[in-house]
Chains A and B, each alone.
Chain A
Amino acid sequence: MSESEMTLQAGHAAALEPSPYGIQSKKLTMWLFIISDAVTFGAILFGYAYLRAGTPDWPTPFRFSSGIVNGLVMTFVLLTSSLTMLAAVVAAKQGRKSSCLLWMSATIVLGIIFATLHLREWFHMFAEGWSLSKNPLGGPVQFGATFFSITGLHLMHVISGIIALIVIASGYNTDWLDAGHVETTGLYWHFVDLVWMFVFPLLYLMNTAR
């Protein structure tokens, strides 16, 4: 009797069953995390839209020359970081380690630039008097609460992603981790980018003074 047959008889058949999705378990786990996180962001963005629809004098603090241009630069940086992450995944799958590490480093740098621009904007708004419970324009205070909560949650994802990228790049460099880990981290990074595709129009473009 072979070793696998003995294992089957011991009741471990499920452990040998191939994945119905044809992907590694770590990638499936990341997908499950992503859909749960998508619902979380969906819920808070819905909450924001609910408050905005129910508040006739909702503030529109962003000017095109400052807030929107800054948001556009942040969007460009994050979209470009997705492209560099894709380049890293392609290189990892082809076994080009140095190229993969280079592209991962570029992704990390772009992530740091995004976070810096975001924090700079936050501090600028703090200086103007905005906070979770204050509106310097004199209208409803919910704008600050929703804006800082939603962008804060997204920023936390970006910072977590940067840390994850550093850890994965280090592990991949020392052969502790493989191309599958790089791809799974890339999946997370693209999701962070995907969320921003909703945050930027709903929180910035919809709140532009017209």
Chain B
Amino acid sequence: MTDTKPQPGMKEYITIWIGLLCIVGIETFLTTLQLSTHRLLAALLVLSFIEAGIALLYFMHLKYEKPNLFWSLVPAVIFVLFMMNHLWPDAYRMLSLRVPIQ
């Protein structure tokens, strides 16, 4: 009962590791730019999801397992995380309910 596809060697892992470090570098560089909070958040989240995807597929070998493992696990997590976003309007309601600072 083993994995279905041949897995990468250390050379590929080191390349992926360097790529992940580069993404962290880009994230940090973005922080030094005078971006608005929302733009910075959006950019950091996109880069974080790319990083997580790479780690999931290569470091955690999901790319090399049977596809039904991926389809059994990942869509469910994404669905749950997506459903949490329905609470966002309440965060902005909190902002509009605040007493204005004099």
Listed in ascending order, the chain A residues whose CB lies under 8 Å from chain B are 18-24, 31, 35, 38-39, 42-43, 46, 49-51, 53-57, 64, 68, 72, 75-76, 79-80, 82-83, 86-87, 90, 187, 190-191, 193-194, 197-198, 200-202, 205-206, 208, 210
**How big is the B interface, by class?**
35 or more
Chain A residues contacting B27 (CB-CB under 8 Å) are 200-201, 205
Chain B residues contacting A31 (CB-CB under 8 Å) are 69, 73
Q: Contact between A53 and B92 (Cβ–Cβ < 8 Å)?
A: yes
Chain A residues contacting B51 (CB-CB under 8 Å) are 194, 197
Q: Contact between A90 and B9 (Cβ–Cβ < 8 Å)?
A: yes
Q: A35-B73, A202-B44 are in contact. Are A83 and B88 (CB under 8 A)?
A: no
Least distance between B8 CB and chain A CB atoms (Å) = 9
As a 0/1 sequence over residues 29 to 59 of chain B, the CB contacts with chain A under 8 angstroms (1 = contact) are: 0111010010011001101100110011001
**CA of A29 to CA of B40 in the docked complex: distance in angstroms?**
36
Q: Contact between B2 and A22 (Cβ–Cβ < 8 Å)?
A: yes
Chain B residues contacting A80 (CB-CB under 8 Å) are 17
Those of B63-100 within 8 Å (CB) of chain A: 65-66, 68-69, 72-73, 76-77, 80-81, 84-85, 87-88, 90-95, 98
